[in-house]
Amino acid sequence: MGEYVGRFAPSPSGALHMGSLLAALASYLQARSRRGRWLVRVEDLDPQREPAGADRDILRCLCAHHLLGDAPPSYQSQRHPLYQHALQQLRQNGRLYSCSCSRAELKQTRLKTASTAYDGRCSTRGLPTQTNALRLRLAEHPKHHFIDAVAGLQTEDLRLTTGDFVLRRRDGLYAYQLAVVVDDAAQGITEVVRGADLLDNTARQIHLQQSLSLNEPDYLHLPLLRDEHGQKLSKQNHAPALDNSHALKNLECAWLALGQQPLPQQPDCPSFLREATAAWRVERISAKA
Ligand code: GLU
């Protein structure tokens, strides 16, 4: 069996919160407990949504919690040529087309058809590449089944849920789906561990991996943390930023939220992480929530 490679891939759209720490810690422990490698990738695809310095705050926060990657962090903003190359490959295979639909038009069609899936109206129009979005033309069989290590068997037919989906936006920004697939493959990621809010992106990512003839990693989606009102913890919901001066306490909290058995009190983060690596049981993560 090849080496396990895991990753934590935060978008620098704000500070890390307890929900992000769960994903960071679980992906770290999965990798460490398999004697694999763990990488940190900053997903800075959308400068307008990234406050200045947020990337450095995130890295400082990971460092304060002693969650240290095995290589210097990579930045998606420095990897555009790879994304461009993947688009070229899809274009050569007739799998890419330009789309001029505005948000308002898309919304209207969604209401009319009562479906979230794009209806493919631009797919035969031969529009120019510049100033238009680029969509992936779905392959003939876009129904995917995969087994998530926590959420279990998942099935999604992309014809019904997304239709041909966007890989490069009209403003020229690369879509998350494209960048994440290209990078997971380029970095040799063998298992993606992340929050369940991203579960419904997975079928699109598998479809894209197959379209680009890339290796498919395994998937593990963690139940989401919720606040006392049942709202998911997220930057959008203003989840409080992690306090680096309570790093050990934060790790203990995240550990328990991952359904793991309490550990004997540890003096510091490195010893906590050592103990946690030895005691980590992925089957204790509950699929509920
Ligand atoms: N960058 C995404 C986020 O911060 C995570 C992407 C992933 O793990 O696939 O929500």
The pLDDT tens digits of the residues spanning 110-131 come to 898 899 999 999 999 999 988 9
Pocket test for ligand 1, best of 45, 74, 176, 178 (most atoms within 8 A of CB): 176
Per-residue pLDDT for 289 more than 70?
A: no
Across 173-190, average pLDDT: 98
Percent of the chain with pLDDT over 70: 98
Please report how many Cα atoms fall inside a 13 Å half-sphere around the Cα of residue 236, on the Cβ side. 4
- Alpha-carbon dihedral of residues 28, 32, 34, 39, nearest 10 degrees? 50
Pocket test for ligand 1, best of 39, 180, 193 (most atoms within 8 A of CB): 180
For the Cβ of 43 lying below 6 angstroms from any atom of ligand 1, the answer is: yes
- Residue 54 Cα to ligand 1 middle (Å): 15
Please report which confidence band the pLDDT of residue 54 belongs to, taking 50, 70 and 90 as the band edges. Answer: very high
For the Cβ of 11 lying below 6 angstroms from any atom of ligand 1, the answer is: yes
Whole-number pLDDT of residue 1: 65
Q: State pTM to two decimals.
A: 0.95
Phi, psi at 250, each rounded to 5°: -60, -45
Characterize the bridge pairing of strands 96-99 and 74-75.
unpaired
Please name the residues in contact with 229: beta carbons below 8 A apart, sequence gap of 6 or more: none
Whole-number pLDDT of residue 29: 98
Across 47-62, average pLDDT: 97
Arithmetic mean of pLDDT over the chain:
95
Task: Write 127-130 long-range contacts (CB < 8 A, 24+).
Answer: 127/97, 127/98, 127/99, 127/100, 128/98, 129/98
- Assess contact for 35 and 6: CB atoms under 8 A: no
Across 81-91, average pLDDT: 98
The pLDDT tens digits of the residues spanning 158-168 come to 999 999 999 99
For the Cβ of 225 lying below 6 angstroms from any atom of ligand 1, the answer is: no
DSSP state of 129: S
Please state the atom number of ligand 1 nearest to the C-alpha of residue 7: 8
Q: Say how far apart CA 65 and CA 271 lie, in whole Å.
A: 11
Per-residue pLDDT for 265 more than 70?
A: yes
Characterize the bridge pairing of strands 133-136 and 166-168.
antiparallel
